[in-house]
Chain A
Amino acid sequence: MISKSIRPLHYFLFLALFLFHLNSVSSWKKEEFRNCNQTPFCKRARSRKPQHCNLTITDAIIKDGDFTSTLINPLKSQENPDQDSSDFVSNHLILSLSVYQDGILRLKIDEDPSESQSQPKKRFQVPDVILPEFESKKLWLQRYGNEVINGDSLPSYVVYLYDGYEAVVRSDPFEVFVREQSSGKKVMSLNSHGLFDFEQLRVKKEGDDWEERFRSHTDSRPYGPQSISFDVSFYGADFVYGIPEHATSLALKPTNGPGIEYSEPYRLFNLDVFEYLHESPFGLYGSIPFMLSHGKTHGASGFFWLNAAEMQIDVLGSGWDAESSIALPSNQKRIDTLWMSEAGIVDAFFFIGPKPKDVVKQYASVTGTSAMPQLFATGYHQCRWNYRDEEDVKNVDAKFDEYDIPYDVLWLDIEHTDGKRYFTWDKVLFPNPEEMQKDLASRGRRMVTIVDPHIKRDDNYHIHKEASKNGLYVKDATGKDYDGWCWPGSSSYIDMVNPDIRSWWADKLAYTEYVGSTPSLYIWNDMNEPSVFNGPEVTMPRDALHYGNVEHRELHNAYGYYFHMATSDGLLKREGGKDRPFVLSRAFFPGTQRYGTVWTGDNTAEWEQLRVSIPMILTLGLTGITFAGADVGGFFGNPDTELLVRWYQVAAYLPFFRGHAHHDTKRREPWLFGERNTELMRDAIRVRYTLLPYFYTLFREANVSGVPVVRPLWMEFPNDEATFNNDEAFVVGNGLLVQGVYTQHAKDVTIYLPKDQTWYDIRTGTAYKGGKTQKMEVTDADIPVFQRSGTIIPRKDRFRRSTVQMENDPYTLVIAVDNSGAAEGELYIDDGKSYEFKQGAYIHRRFIFSNGKLTSVNLATTSASSLGTKFLSDCTIERIILLGYSSKSKSARIEPSNHVTDVELGPLQIRSGARSSVLTIRKPNVRVSEDWTIQLL
């Protein structure tokens, strides 16, 4: 009788708990993060009106190849301690301009170092980001020209920047801009709207209240206001892009201006955001203050501000400055932006473009290109929080083989450790980690374990013991080891800003130190924003202190970068510099591309999140980090099967390809959804593996030039306006256009194929003319992917367990000819793991097809091969497919071997139900390492 009434109650309670929980997880905790109005420096900067800046230029000289001058305020009102205005700037600022090869202008503005003794501290300049060799690209300026602009009262200064480009420092009103020499048209400018403001450090006076409070946290702000803000304009620009990481569109929407719904600025502040939204300017795990613009008239340009403090950036809608008296020539389209940072200095780079690829190359020459990944890292990764124990690992691995699905890496999340003490193993769940890794390695598979920067404060934990004894932790404002809260509970954070501490950390990855690690084990750095569960905005207090007495506020956005760097260096060290590291990081900063891979963090199993992963990854590629991906399936929540399949189908074409899931979700390995869906996911993964030779070649291109592996359409088609804000499709290299399917039960998708090209459906070979938007039918089997005419794409069509077993497999070349019957493509091969390619141990071929003849040309530089090491490969080409080439040829002659092989109709992809519809050169069996020609007869 009693239970009769309790039972429904009992269930109701569970239901209530469950519903409540659903509710709690579906909402992003907006109020736990500061918005611009709650962030004094942002609020001040945003409320300023144009022509606020009163600074002018004096004392210009050329010194050490730089243009140097002083910025002063002629109206300076002495001793006005009003912190809400720059009026109190009583000192002056030093401005310098440097010019670098390939169209790069660097602008620095800082306090006068000669007055450093009177300053409370030195402002922070981010070290270790700019490539050491960048300095060698400096053009030593010899002179400047003078020019009076618009009848200004003071003359302005003009210096050479690049062929056809000049940099101008306007004296009064103060402005810096880049212009085309011949037309005088501006390309980019800073402070054209007079929003420049530089809060100089000063000594705290009686009565100054510098503290800032947010929720339960107080920031002591011992150095007071020190923010910097200014406006930057891009001329001839239709759109601006970049400044990750935000879950938003590729082309950045305006955040302020008439007719624009109230929006926060784009925030750059590395944060661990629980369940981020798919359409928001809110700052996520990483920050790159680099913005690109692109437009029909000028082309592309870029602006990069090297600063690691919290930054907020407004993209201003046209007419935002309507009240301003200065009108710019109306014939020039322009996008204005407002940049605001809490601390640091102005260290800004202008990249003149003018082509999109020029801009990314210019940015790469400052911050570096992406590291060459190991081949295995470009395959498929299987992760879950958590593969529970060794048996689980064994079973998952075995299932991949049972279902003949290739994969390269199995991942272990935090639960593999002994109580979240990194570099340890749970002795019950993982008693024999070395054996487990060796077993995986026997089938060519690697393992990745997680190592986070929070260290459990446990005196029996060797890392903590050493770190606390030797003072390796970040300190709190009072100078004690900062004590925060993360997975292990009470935790401290290694001060990775110190190079000696990084080196100490790197040594922890040695096989002897990391007990249970083997050469097939690589690392994942999570929570390195850093995530601090009980800190303000789930991160470290801004007044925490780092090496060199640098406040956390000054370098917050770079913390994760230094941690990533130290871990990557550790993997390099453990193999004596011979093995390319693989480290995945969630936080990032400019330069991260040199150390490893990035993913878009804790996304959610929703269609909109699948859609937004494309612009997020494209944006990372534009800003240097091409080796990026999103968790396949979505981290939080359970994707429905169709979403999961669609996710695999798109993600197979994105650089970093990993399935991952939260521990509360149902298992979702590819074989768990019935035969048909297993087949679809296997197909998607296999497509990736067949294209690995192409991907690897593109990774090499990115490694050499900085051009990303996957690109927005406008990067390849900069004159095709219809592509400028397309972020549903992307191109892999220059050859494959991929259109994802982002809606449920889609029967067709709308696709824009860029103009002046023919596009070949990679499954059927059907040709489509570009230049229009078309509706195409889709089935569940795959997503629309097209090969662009004029390209040659190398494939390996044999399926294996992992990349390791593919090494000796023969290649297939797919040639899609353009309207003149010609095509070109490249193939890069090396040992896939070591640095011997730097000594020339690689094969790099260009395939050129024209007039019915395919030629393989060596692209490896002779200087490289003369270094002595050589990479050998016996690999041959087993099949050559011709798309769009009509010929009645029945055979082809191969030179120099002078043998004839058959030409027939074959399938474009070998699968049951395929049609033999494309011209195929059968078994040419030429070696990829050699020069040869194949002539259709």
Chain B
Amino acid sequence: MKINTSILILISTLVLRSIASNNLLGIAPQDEKYYKGLWSSGMIKCKDGSKTFTKSQFNDDFCDCFDGSDEPGTSACPTGKFYCQNAGHSPVTIFSSRINDGICDCCDGSDEYGGQIRCKNTCWEAGKVARDMLMKKIATYQEGVAIRKREIEQAKISVANDEAELSKLKNEEKILKGIVQPLKEHKERIEKAVEKERVQKEIVEKQKKEAEESESKQLKVEEKVDGVEQPPANNNDDKSAILDNFPSDQHDVKEEEASKIENKGEVADKDIYSLSREDLGREIGSRWTGKKPEQQYHAVDDVKNDHEASNNVHDEENNGYDTETDDDHQHYDDDTDEHMDDVGDEANDEFDSSNTYEPDEEVDMSEAENIQKEYDEASTKLSKLQSKITRLTKKLGNDFGPEKEFYSLYGQCFESKQNKYVYKVCAFKQATQEEGYSTTRLGNWKKFDDSYNVMLFSNGDNCWNGPDRSLKVSLRCGLKVELADVDEPSRCEYAATLTTPALCLEGKLKELEAELEVLNSQLPEFHDEL
């Protein structure tokens, strides 16, 4: 092997055009067996079995086998592959298109024997650099593997704690519910009684009022009433209407908003006449750039700000980091709907008027106040408890990796500054790009991909004339968790790398060590000889 290599290098530097004499050129070690037949019998089949070729057709710079097996050392076959030994560095297999093309592709220069160019053998230097880098990498891995182990241990304990906490909370919840429910019923009874009184009072007043009114206005009103008194639900600005999301109501709002934006986005045709010459230039130019003149940006920003504002509210409610995404919030709502209809300041006193009540019962106001207070305290406690449960359930619902090695990333954000932008990736949550005070969402947490080598964030803010923004974070082994190399390879499709000990796999470490071993074992004394 060593001898072959040195001969090969000698040959490739000395023998220029004569290829036939250099029988071993371009053959990979694993193929030596295949070619043995050629030396012994003088003829073998192409690897794909399509044809046979003779010794004289081997590396004769004419393609006989469509798979290139007769020409491992020349450029004659388009599908051919050339093996460079690269003693002192790693061997490489290159495309036949690189052979004698005037560019040094192999560090040992064996791909350039045609005399167009003299390639210096740089394998030793390159190999040393590569080995040094490999050694550094191994050192990182060694340390990383240890950190990873610790983190996994820690994660397991933490998860167990979380789970214990959760079941404890659930127990408390059960107990608390047992207290809240009777209070609630009691309270309702009182309220109904109060309401009944009020209603009766109202009826009396109303009748009085109607009597007065019907005297002053008569016919006209009746006509109008038909038109006005049956408004579609969307004119109902009662709080409950908003909370219940009357579909028609929303629809109209949306349409109105949309058309507003439409008008801002593209100046309507007639408006083009009225534009200043500068604005006209901007407007027309924006067709190509997709960059809408200023107003448009505002429109988008407004929407975004609204969205954020709503998030912030949750942030406060939920004490810091664990901003509920809208989905969570939905979840939270469902809970409340189920268990705590009447809790909180948004409580909707929604009565079923057919409910029975006891008209004869006198309402004791001080009792009512006490019950109310008791009930409020208990239900607030319950609601806090339930939101804790929701949060914890959600947290534990995340995929922390097969060994929970990503657990420690939960609740953490990582930033990287590039030019005027600050990129922020919050694992299991979302990724953003910040410029000054404006924030663009690059995506919400979606999942791990590519067997836990990639984090995906999707459904970010939409791009003009483009897709919703998304981010793909490639994970690498590193001792610290650091975000780097944020890039936008395609418009609005972002990419970044994140180093983390979670990726420092023991198996990979073994591979690297084996690689280094091979390199070291190939370190020939002959380098000194040459």
Contacts and interface: CB of A to CB of B under 8 A. Distances in A.
A216 B464 contact: no
| Of A6, A14, A25, most B-chain CB atoms within 10 Å | A14
20 contacts: A4-B329, A6-B306, A8-B250, A12-B258, A13-B257, A14-B461, A16-B261, A17-B258, A17-B265, A18-B462, A20-B262, A20-B266, A215-B272, A404-B97, A489-B278, A666-B491, A800-B97, A879-B62, A911-B66, A916-B51
B102 A533 contact: no
Interface stretch (B36-44, B193-201, B216-224, B285-293): B285-293
A24 B269 CA distance: 12
A666 B265 contact: no
A390 to B, nearest CB: 13
Contact of B282 (A9, A485, A809): A485
Contact of B258 (A7, A13, A538, A914): A13
Interface in B474-497: 488-491, 493
B384 interface: no
Interface in B302-346: 303, 306-307, 310-311, 313-314, 326, 329-330, 333, 346
Contacts of B154: none
Interface string A912-931: 11101000001100000000
Given A25-B287, A274-B287, A805-B102, A4 B326 contact: yes
Contacts of B490: 666-667
A68 to B, nearest CB: 48
A215 to B, nearest CB: 6
Given A216-B280, A910-B63, A805 B101 contact: yes
Interface string A488-499: 011000000000
B233 interface: no
Contacts of B273: 215-216
Given A13-B303, A18-B462, A538-B284, A664 B290 contact: yes
B463 interface: yes
Nearest to A384: B490
Interface in B457-514: 461-468, 488-491, 493
B379 to A, nearest CB: 16
B281 A485 contact: yes
Given A4-B329, A17-B265, A910 B280 contact: no
A912 B258 contact: no
Q: Give the interface centre of A7, A443, A490 by most chain B CB atoms within 10 Å.
A: A7
Contacts of B275: 216
A459 to B, nearest CB: 18
A798 interface: yes
Nearest to A216: B273
A324 B285 CA distance: 48
B277 A485 contact: yes
B103 interface: yes
B225 interface: no
Contacts of B116: 808
Top 5 closest pairs, chain A to chain B, by CB: A485-B281, A534-B281, A16-B258, A805-B101, A3-B310
A512 B79 CA distance: 44
A3 B280 contact: no
A911 B79 contact: yes
A150 interface: no
A487 B286 CA distance: 9
Contacts of A25: 287, 465
Contacts of B63: 910
Interface of A: 1-10, 12-14, 16-18, 20-21, 24-25, 31-32, 215-216, 274-275, 388, 392, 404, 406, 428, 442-444, 484-487, 489-490, 532-534, 538, 602, 662-667, 686, 797-801, 804-805, 808-809, 878-879, 907, 910-914, 916, 922-923
Contact of A798 (B76, B257, B284): B76
Interface string B236-275: 0000001101000010011001100110011001001111
B106 to A, nearest CB: 14
B59 interface: no
A617 to B, nearest CB: 23
B326 A3 contact: yes
Interface of B: 48, 50-51, 60-63, 66-67, 75-79, 95-98, 100-103, 114, 116, 242-243, 245, 250, 253-254, 257-258, 261-262, 265-266, 269, 272-275, 277-285, 287-290, 299-300, 303, 306-307, 310-311, 313-314, 326, 329-330, 333, 346, 419, 461-468, 488-491, 493
Contacts of B254: 9, 12-13, 16
Contacts of A809: 75
Contact of A805 (B48, B103, B346): B103
B462 A9 contact: no
Contact of B281 (A275, A484, A808): A484
A2 B282 contact: no
A428 B420 CA distance: 12
A485 B326 contact: no
A838 B245 CA distance: 80
B102 A24 contact: no
B313 A2 contact: yes
Given A667-B489, A798-B75, A913 B464 contact: no
A663 to B, nearest CB: 6
A603 B468 CA distance: 24
B284 A533 contact: yes
Among B77, B279, B330, residue most surrounded by chain A Cβ atoms (within 10 Å):
B77
A18 B491 CA distance: 15
Nearest to B273: A216
Nearest to B279: A534
B115 to A, nearest CB: 10
B269 A2 contact: no
Contacts of A534: 277-281, 284
A486 B285 contact: yes
A9 B261 contact: no
Contacts of B98: 801
A914 B68 CA distance: 12
B75 A533 contact: no
Contacts of B274: 216
Contacts of A6: 306-307, 310
A490 B285 CA distance: 12
A798 B97 contact: yes
A20 B299 CA distance: 14
A17 B462 contact: yes
A215 B310 CA distance: 45
A50 to B, nearest CB: 38
B280 A485 contact: yes
A185 to B, nearest CB: 51
Nearest to A911: B66
Given A4-B333, A664-B491, A485 B245 contact: no
A364 B21 CA distance: 54
Contacts of B75: 798, 800, 809
Contacts of B262: 16, 20
A20 B264 CA distance: 11
A817 to B, nearest CB: 24
Contacts of B51: 916
Given A21-B265, A490-B278, A533 B285 contact: yes
Given A13-B303, A663-B290, 10 more contacts: A7-B307, A12-B257, A13-B261, A24-B266, A275-B287, A486-B281, A490-B281, A667-B490, A808-B100, A878-B62
A526 to B, nearest CB: 11
A827 to B, nearest CB: 20
B281 A17 contact: no
A799 B300 CA distance: 50
A439 B229 CA distance: 78
Contacts of A489: 278, 281
B58 to A, nearest CB: 14
